[in-house]
A = this chain, B = another copy of it.
Amino acid sequence: MVINVRVVVALGGNALLQKNQKGMYTDQLENARRTAKFLADIIENEPELELVITHGNGPQAGAIAIQNDAAKDIVPPMPLDVINAETQALIGYMLQQSLKNEFARRGLKREVVTIVTQVVVRRNDPAFQNPTKFIGPYYTEEEAKRLMKEKGWIMKPDPRGGWRRVVPSPEPIDVVEKEVIMKLLELGIVPITVGGGGIPVVFENGCFEGIEAVIDKDLASSLLARILRADLLVILTDVDYVYLDFENNAKRIPLREITLNEIKQYYDAGHFPAGSMGPKVLAAIKFLEAGGREARIGHLEQALNVIKGLSGTRIKP
């Protein structure tokens, strides 16, 4: 009996949109095709891997929120759970098409499919009392105050300028479609799932129901890796390693191999910024604390080397 190695690979925003790009479809598709090559490298070299792909959706969700807002007098705007769903298909479509093409080009017989995925959060999660995640368009203070009254939104001045809506980022606690994902994996199919952290839902009175929130994609990927009893959680981003003193180019130190306890100390000491490396490190910590064998954080372009353990930060129990 062959025991396959099961790996959850979480793609960062750079997999689909570069920082200087406006979000043109042609640019996003080109990035998806580039990303597909790095992922196909993994399948081609490690054909026994069971691969799950997850991804962020920040720029795409922002764009759809702006579109909803711009047309709000003609078309009823959709809530955040629906906007997340839309980004899952928008991004999933590009990734699944690009991967399928790349697999075929290399003669790899693997199917890949995007699963619309709901992720459960608790309504009494403290995040709902203290929303922190900025989303959607920028408004003037006056507009913001009107929207807060009209829609019950919470809005705050964004350090980047203007007022924006802030929404809760609660902790993910379950993946509704986990059984399906598990079965697809067992069949050798590559699922693209929990996109943008998953569609946030609560489970109350035996029913799932959408809720307005944004789930961190790295934490959702970590949860999924725990549920699937994955061997590896791999977070791919636009830096080669997790660094100490990242902002200080001269002094910064890449972490190549580190234990759970060590990185927890750095995490607790505030070494990793909340908006970037923080959630990735926390996702790795949670995965290892739940019994995961190893978590890795590395560069998208080094995907295969990260899988092989030759690049990226390796975090072990």
Contact = CB atoms under 8 A, between A and B. Distances in A.
Given A111-B177, A111-B179, 13 more contacts: A22-B76, A23-B75, A25-B78, A67-B71, A74-B137, A82-B93, A85-B89, A86-B89, A89-B89, A93-B118, A93-B210, A105-B207, A183-B187
A154 interface: no
Contact of A93 (B66, B81, B90, B92): B81
A206 B114 contact: no
B78 A85 contact: no
Interface residues of A, number: 56
Given A104-B206, A177-B113, A25 B82 contact: yes
B23 A100 contact: no
Contacts of A70: 67, 70-71, 74-75
Q: How many copies does the complex hold?
A: 2
Interface in A7-38: 22-25, 29
A97 B211 CA distance: 13
Interface in A59-93: 63-64, 66-71, 74-76, 78-79, 81-82, 85-86, 88-90, 92-93
A111 B101 CA distance: 29
Contacts of A64: 67, 86
Contacts of A74: 66, 70, 137
Contacts of A101: 206-208
A66 B75 contact: yes
A180 interface: yes
A117 to B, nearest CB: 9
B25 A93 contact: no
A29 to B, nearest CB: 8
